[in-house]
Structure 1
Amino acid sequence: MGTYSTTRFTDWHEVHEAVAAAYFPHEMRPLTTGAASRSALKTATIGSCRITSMRLGAEVSVATDHPGAYGVNIPVSGRFESVVGKTAVLSLPGQATICPPDTRTVIPHWSPSCRLIGFKVEKSYLQHEMDRVLGRPGKLPMQIDLRSGRGASWLKFVHTVFHQVADDAGLWRDSLVLTQLAGTLTTAFVLAATPDEEDSHRGARPRIVKRVIDAIHADPARAWTPGEMAELAGVSVRRLQQGFRECMNQTPFEYLFEVRLERAHAELVSAGPPATVADIAFRCGITHTGRFAAAYRDRYGSTPSETLKR
């Protein structure tokens, strides 16, 4: 995993090179006399995904083919006009333009008032995740709504992951965590960008749920992603989630957390020095220690450290 960030530029050549390295190769042409030094860029790489925050110091035009990857352009402020192939798309804050790979996209007027968050995901990785999540060939729209529902949830998650990975050198630099984050980011994007599908496999739900439950109990510490669970079950992520809600009255990840909690409790009861709560939690697949401590106390009436000392 790597991060690249800069807030100081001396000329437009530096701006061009920084944006190309952080997001996509492109052609950039300043249209006004604004200062390159007012441009700012910050990026975080998460597995096969990359999130980049960009603001430019002058109005520019940009053209790119988005080679080998999808680009999801999310204006945080201002207007963002694009011509994707032959289709004009205007996105305002709360919307996003989806630019397909290897397709000419022209941004005729990118103004200094428009700060952009770019989400880049490799073509093969996204297509593989779409196959696993949807259980069928999928097609992405050119624009998605991020103001409510799944779209708003995904955008909030993008902001959270971006700031954590770019600014925190701790757990968020671990390759195992980053791989899981990339899968979750991409799965959430697919669910936000594609319409609900009709469920035609109701009779298969008990079988698919049991298959995932058995796998969770066999390896609860595995860095599970929604796509991996769905692939194991042989259905889409939506179908698996629906099956768990009908049969278990909870999501697959809520069930996974309960199994991890029970496994951690058993280890805490039987462990002794020099074992630590953090070591046991991590060994059981739990990385959010605050949530773990609160859930553990609710379930068992004591803290993890109190159980370990007994």
Structure 2
Amino acid sequence: MCEDAAAARERPTPTWDEFSAAVEHAYFPHHLTVRSDRPPVGGTLRSVDLGPVRLARIGWGSEVSVESDHPGAWAVNVPRSGVLEASVGGRHVLSLDGQATVCPPDVTTSMTRWSADCAIVGMRVDADHLAQEIPSLVGLSVTQMPAQVDLRRDAGRAWVALLTSIGGEMLRQPTLLADSVVNRRLGSALTAAFVLACFPDSGRGPVRPRIVTQVLDAMEADPAADWTAAELAAVAGVGIRRLQDGFRTYLGMTPTQALSRIRLARVHADLLAGRSATVADAAHRWGFTHLGRFAAAYRARYGVAPSATLRG
């Protein structure tokens, strides 16, 4: 459900049951207790579906309490105003702007006080998706997720900025929602940034050269693959930060830069040997999708345009 203020003014004011049902459809099933007799005049609801990740902006406009088991998915609730008070697994959690309440799947969580002026940005993440991502990102298990995340640190601010940017962009360009590849990438980026915000100090310590070698071998074996940072980290069995630290320490570059060099070398060899009829054929064969950026990288690496190498 996605409404702007003008559209909302043109429609009759919903009842609490109607508004609650809309929130349930957009985010999670729940039991709502309203602390006011007023209809939800000031209620706001917007949502964006990214496959295993769903974003929602929710404000009730009156003080309420909300109880949910969050079936099959984690809920990460970030109050952008007001007060969000909860009982999460028996632990009292009070979140204000700059903090996030993390609700586990299939466990009853009570938002005992959702103040009238509290509007949240929520991120729903399928439990299976997060369980798959966490070990590859930070080398930990999903059971170690915190009940509250401090968003005032660098990693937390980075996640909130990404959350706000992606949510706003998808609402401005709803046609992007039809692109499953875009959705997957955006959802994965949000999940990775959130996990790093949960564990800002993870991944510190020495990285052995063997880890870097394992990832290099995987990239050399299939350089055209659409490698993500999480997939490369999973090859080495470490988190993304440790992998990046290792590449900087032993190679002086990031894994992405190393992959680009491997791909450039494959294109260069093809062009020299005349194995490709055009530069575009060679570039696409080895995983380059943006020919302008590829040509600039090729010239920086080899000192000539790729077309010059092809002409021989």
Matched, 1:215 2:212: no
Is 35-44 or 64-73 further displaced after alignment? 35-44
For residue 32 of structure 1, give the secondary structure of its aligned residue in structure 2.
coil
Shift, 1:12, TM fit: 1.4
Cα displacement string for residues 54-109 of structure 1 (whole angstroms, at most 9, x for unaligned residues)? 12222222111111111110011222111213222111111111111122211223
* CA distance, structure 2, for counterparts of residue 268 and residue 168 of structure 1: 39
* CA distance, structure 2, for counterparts of residue 231 and residue 103 of structure 1: 29
Shift, 1:31, TM fit: 1.3
From 255, 278, 285, the equivalent of 1:252 is 255
* CA distance, structure 1, for counterparts of residue 57 and residue 75 of structure 2: 13
- The correspondence of residues 184-203 of structure 1 with structure 2, limited to 5 A, is 184-197=189-202, 202=207
RMSD across aligned positions (CA): 3.5
Aligned to 1:61: 65
From 138, 150, 155, the equivalent of 2:155 is 150
* CA distance, structure 2, for counterparts of residue 305 and residue 58 of structure 1: 65
Q: Which runs of 5+ in 1 are unaligned?
A: none
Aligned to 2:183: 178
Matched, 1:225 2:228: yes
Q: Percent identity?
A: 43
For residue 35 of structure 1, give the secondary structure of its aligned residue in structure 2.
coil
Q: 2:3 corresponds to which letter in structure 1?
A: T
* CA distance, structure 2, for counterparts of residue 267 and residue 37 of structure 1: 65
**How many pairs does the alignment contain?**
301
TM-score in terms of structure 2 length: 0.80
* CA distance, structure 2, for counterparts of residue 48 and residue 79 of structure 1: 28
* CA distance, structure 1, for counterparts of residue 156 and residue 53 of structure 2: 18
Shift, 1:132, TM fit: 2.1
**Does the 8 Å contact 1:34/1:59 carry over to 2?**
no
Aligned to 1:236: 239
Matched, 1:128 2:125: no
For residue 2 of structure 2, give the secondary structure of its aligned residue in structure 1.
strand
For residue 17 of structure 1, give the secondary structure of its aligned residue in structure 2.
helix
* CA distance, structure 2, for counterparts of residue 44 and residue 303 of structure 1: 42
Shift, 1:283, TM fit: 6.7
Q: 1:206 corresponds to which letter in structure 2?
A: P
Shift, 1:261, TM fit: 6.3
Is 117-126 or 173-182 further displaced after alignment? 173-182
* CA distance, structure 1, for counterparts of residue 117 and residue 160 of structure 2: 20
Shift, 1:259, TM fit: 4.8
* CA distance, structure 2, for counterparts of residue 52 and residue 304 of structure 1: 46
Matched, 1:26 2:30: yes
Q: 1:105 corresponds to which letter in structure 2?
A: T
Shift, 1:180, TM fit: 2.6
For residue 211 of structure 1, give the secondary structure of its aligned residue in structure 2.
helix
* CA distance, structure 1, for counterparts of residue 309 and residue 284 of structure 2: 17
* CA distance, structure 2, for counterparts of residue 91 and residue 185 of structure 1: 21
For residue 133 of structure 1, give the secondary structure of its aligned residue in structure 2.
helix
* CA distance, structure 1, for counterparts of residue 292 and residue 176 of structure 2: 14
For residue 201 of structure 2, give the secondary structure of its aligned residue in structure 1.
coil
* CA distance, structure 1, for counterparts of residue 217 and residue 106 of structure 2: 41
**Does the 8 Å contact 1:82/1:89 carry over to 2?**
yes
From 2, 8, 11, the equivalent of 2:15 is 11
Cα displacement string for residues 111-160 of structure 1 (whole angstroms, at most 9, x for unaligned residues)? 33111000111112212211222334350111111122111111111112
**Does the 8 Å contact 1:132/1:236 carry over to 2?**
yes
**Does the 8 Å contact 2:203/2:242 carry over to 1?**
no
Aligned to 2:74: 70
Shift, 1:41, TM fit: 1.1
Q: 1:66 corresponds to which letter in structure 2?
A: H
From 47, 54, 63, the equivalent of 1:50 is 54
- The correspondence of residues 37-116 of structure 1 with structure 2, limited to 5 A, is 37-116=41-120
* CA distance, structure 1, for counterparts of residue 297 and residue 148 of structure 2: 39
TM-score in terms of structure 1 length: 0.80
